[in-house]
Amino acid sequence: MEDAPWVQALAGAAEVAATALNLPHPYPEGAAALWIDTHAPAAADGRSYTWAIVRAADAALLGAVALNMEARHARGRLGYWLEALLGPGLYDGGSPPYHDLRVR
């Protein structure tokens, strides 16, 4: 739950919401904590697996990636949201520095 304040701030950014299908804007107060609370039960049921995307250098939260399972089709759907800022370790149009990002 330590990520909730960061998720609240990042997911609430208009630039992030503009690129995501399932992020409301404005992001409701407390929505981050409620969303994080869904991760463990969803993973335990095999419905969805969610990871934080963090910068390797300092573990700063940058976004999230989720694999949502579609049991009736025996497939998964990958979704993500990512901080909309460019800078060290983020894609800026050149060679993407994947080695600078981690999931946890």
Beta strands in 19-100 (DSSP E): 48-55, 61-70, 75-82
As a whole number, mean pLDDT of residues 22-30 equals 90
- Residue 29 is predicted with a pLDDT of 95
pLDDT at 96 over 60: no
Residues 6+ apart with CB under 8 A from 58: none
The tokens of 11 are what? 């997911």
pLDDT reported for residue 37: 97
Taking residues 6-33, report their average pLDDT.
Answer: 88
Q: Smallest Cα–Cα separation from 83: which of 4, 11, 5?
A: 11
Predicted confidence band of residue 94 (pLDDT cuts 50, 70, 90): very low
Three-state DSSP class for 16?
A: helix
pLDDT given for residue 101 in this prediction: 59
